[in-house]
Structure 1
Amino acid sequence: MISSVLRWFRRPDLTDEQQRRLSLWRALPAVSAHQAIKATRCVVVDVETSGLNLWEDRLISIGAVAVVNGKIELGDSFYIVLQQEIVSEKENILLHGIGGAAQAEGVPAADALLAFLAFLQKDPLIAFHVTFDQTMIVRAISKYLGFSFKQPWSDMAYVMPALNPELAARFRSLDDWIAHFDIRNDARHNALADALVTAQLFQVGASQASGRNIADFAALRDLEKAQRWVSEVG
């Protein structure tokens, strides 16, 4: 038990080049949460993992796409597979399609995560069911880069019910919402494809929010927090 705790708190050994890349990201200025969504860059993210256990399973891939000034920028997207020492189970591979060879030959975790941070910059993050994506990324960054990642996130799984209360009781999954708004996903459980459809859902939500004078990321997060409270009380 003591040895496992020590491994958890042990700082990773980064090369000078990796330290330089991390320092460059740390030095980037923070983005104001009060900047209008239509005048900022948000990064929509999705991950694939070795399973659904937040504390034991491993991050396998990250997919992300930028929404810049309200528009999806397909040329401003990101996808990476993290190298795995032990590849995931066959059933897991059948789900996300990242085979054993692709996992074994992926990008070393520290370099993959530094590449993700370089893509992200200090922009706000969007996801569907944030807790899972956020926890897996935070855990990996802590383990391989040695710091606590505290970027702001907004969760479309709460924003959309808040904006569409008449649908909240029936629509729970990402598939429910994208089907309702005729958003196609031809590669479900691919991190980049799922990030892209979540970005389209974010566009729908941002347009609806604008009609309610909810125009910036801070107000969107306030809406999300209110919906979380409603969900817990309900």
Structure 2
Amino acid sequence: MSLLKQMFGAKPQLTASQEDRLRAWRDQPEPDTRLPFDTSRLVVVDVETSGLNVRKDHLIAIGAVTVVNGKIILADSLDIVLQQSQVSGKDNILIHGIGGEAQRQGMHPADALLAFLEFLGKSPLIAFHVEFDQSMIGRAMKAHLGFRFEHTWADLAYVAPTLYPQLARRYRSLDQWMELFGIGNYARHSALADALATAELLLALRPQLEARQTMSFQGLRDLERERRLQTHPV
């Protein structure tokens, strides 16, 4: 093995069909992120992993739901487990509930990630604490599909406290914001259930978004940037 391969890893070998699927996704047009929520499609995502180390742990599952024209579309959702060559530890399984057999029988990682891309299209992504989800999905894309996943995200962990500055110090976690708005969760730490809860949080923020005239994905990004500048001034 060459020194470069040892340092950066060999590029994954995709089948012709996989290459075609990836190319078709890349060729899709970019959406207008300034369109109002009532005329756009957003994808809310959450992941489950083998741990919290973004450099060493692995992506196990992706859950995603869509918000189309301002409404959650349960029929348009994704819940997918990536096949693992090594099952995660017992303590980790207790958190997300994806057992060893389910991990071993998951979808081949390249096909799972392609299925996620096909579900996503070029729709903007929303999550709670984006950095973790973005890093884990990005690493998996690089490892199994051989490309850098550079997509547009918005982080409700920054948007919510911008809209409710008086609550910013008391409410930090997804669980706390869920409790504030009375949002239930049928299976906490399930990727799909947490994605649904995050989507419901987005809708719960709608009155304040309307008051701020930020009813678009770009509006979410602007609010996120505002909060980041407040907490981490340049």
**Aligned residue for 1:218?**
218
**Aligned residue for 2:153?**
153
Please say which of residues 90-99 and 208-217 is displaced more in the overlay.
208-217
Indicate whether 1:129 and 2:129 are aligned: yes
Report if the CA contact (8 A) 1:156-1:202 is conserved.
Answer: yes
- Distance (whole Å) between structure 2 residues aligned to residue 224 and residue 5 of structure 1: 38
**Aligned residue for 2:91?**
91
Query: How many percent of aligned residue pairs carry the same amino acid?
Result: 54
**Aligned residue for 1:176?**
176
- Distance (whole Å) between structure 2 residues aligned to residue 10 and residue 35 of structure 1: 40
Q: Detail structure 1 runs of 4+ shifted over 6 Å in the superposition.
A: none
**Aligned residue for 1:192?**
192
**Aligned residue for 2:60?**
60
Indicate whether 1:15 and 2:12 are aligned: no
Report if the CA contact (8 A) 1:8-1:143 is conserved.
Answer: no
Deviations 1:99-136 (A, max 9, x none): 00000110010000000000000000000000000000
Q: Secondary structure in 2 aligned to 1:135?
A: helix
Question: What's the CA shift for 1:203?
Answer: 1.0
Q: Secondary structure in 2 aligned to 1:199?
A: helix
Q: Secondary structure in 2 aligned to 1:17?
A: helix
- Distance (whole Å) between structure 1 residues aligned to residue 7 and residue 43 of structure 2: 32
- Distance (whole Å) between structure 1 residues aligned to residue 98 and residue 202 of structure 2: 26
Pair 225,97 (structure 1): closer, same or farther in 2 beyond 3 Å: same
- Distance (whole Å) between structure 1 residues aligned to residue 7 and residue 145 of structure 2: 14
- Distance (whole Å) between structure 1 residues aligned to residue 22 and residue 101 of structure 2: 28
Question: What's the CA shift for 1:216?
Answer: 1.6
- Distance (whole Å) between structure 2 residues aligned to residue 7 and residue 182 of structure 1: 48
Pair 118,176 (structure 1): closer, same or farther in 2 beyond 3 Å: same
**Aligned residue for 2:38?**
38
Which 5+ residue runs of structure 1 have no aligned equivalent?
none
Pair 210,6 (structure 1): closer, same or farther in 2 beyond 3 Å: farther
Deviations 1:133-171 (A, max 9, x none): 000001100111111111100000000000011110100
Question: What's the CA shift for 1:207?
Answer: 3.4
Question: What's the CA shift for 1:5?
Answer: 5.8
- Distance (whole Å) between structure 2 residues aligned to residue 67 and residue 166 of structure 1: 27
- Distance (whole Å) between structure 2 residues aligned to residue 7 and residue 69 of structure 1: 45
- Distance (whole Å) between structure 1 residues aligned to residue 21 and residue 75 of structure 2: 22
**Aligned residue for 1:139?**
139
TM-score by length of 1: 0.96
- Distance (whole Å) between structure 1 residues aligned to residue 76 and residue 7 of structure 2: 36
Coordinate RMSD, CA, aligned: 1.3
Question: What's the CA shift for 1:204?
Answer: 1.6
- Distance (whole Å) between structure 2 residues aligned to residue 125 and residue 207 of structure 1: 21
TM-score by length of 2: 0.96
- Distance (whole Å) between structure 2 residues aligned to residue 202 and residue 5 of structure 1: 43
- Distance (whole Å) between structure 2 residues aligned to residue 67 and residue 128 of structure 1: 15
Deviations 1:175-229 (A, max 9, x none): 0000000000121000000000000001122332122111221121011011011
**Aligned residue for 1:163?**
163
Question: What's the CA shift for 1:35?
Answer: 1.3
